[in-house]
Amino acid sequence: MNTEELIEKYQLIPHPEGGYFRETYRSEGVISQNALPPNFKGDRNYCTGIYFLLPQGTKSHLHRIQSDEIWHFYLGGSMTLILIHEDYGVQKIILGSNILAGETVQFVVPAGWWFGGYPNLESSYSFVGCTVAPGFDFADFELAERTHLMSRFPESEDLILKLTSEL
């Protein structure tokens, strides 16, 4: 299966962070804003899920959200997730099916961490799923500002340049 077939089969559309996606699940249950931490500016569904496709040559731009996000590997080649946090620095995670080589099929990005990723060179695409709880809302989505991250993490300039665009 190639990227065009996946886009057609799963009716994927372009995602603002890069790649293609389609929401596949949004729980009916809702958490009221007064039961959520103050950084949430409204009610949120309990949980949401998407398919997410990154063809070779594309990237998931560095961004952060207010909820934990669980990444699940499905098809294609491995991808690298980059995580950046003020207190913990930079981490690289390889999401893929070759667990004997240190790849992982599932990984949790904690709420508030900057993260992004890209398919590894041997991959024509990486097809993954993302589960977010409390559920995803674009009001919680923030694309990274390149100059801000480069001033905070100058040792990671190459990764930041790779996973951001000038605004």
Classified as helix, coil or strand, 71 is: strand
pTM: predicted TM-score of the whole model, two decimal places:
0.93
Please give the residue range of the domain that contains residue 24: 3-162
- CA–CA gap between residue 8 and residue 13 (Å, rounded): 9
User: Quick check: is 167 in a domain?
Assistant: no
Question: Cβ neighbours of residue 48 under 8 Å, at least 6 residues apart?
Answer: 23, 25, 26, 27, 131, 132, 133, 135, 136
> For residue 38, which phi and psi values (nearest 5 degrees)?
-65, -20
Question: What's the pLDDT tens digit per position in 49-97?
Answer: 999 999 999 999 999 999 999 999 999 999 999 999 988 889 999 999 9
Handedness of CA 41, 46, 51, 57 (dihedral sign): positive
What CATH number corresponds to the domain at position 98? 2.60.120.10
| Structural domains counted in the chain | 1
Q: Give the whole-number percent of the chain exceeding pLDDT 90.
A: 91
pLDDT at position 86 is 87
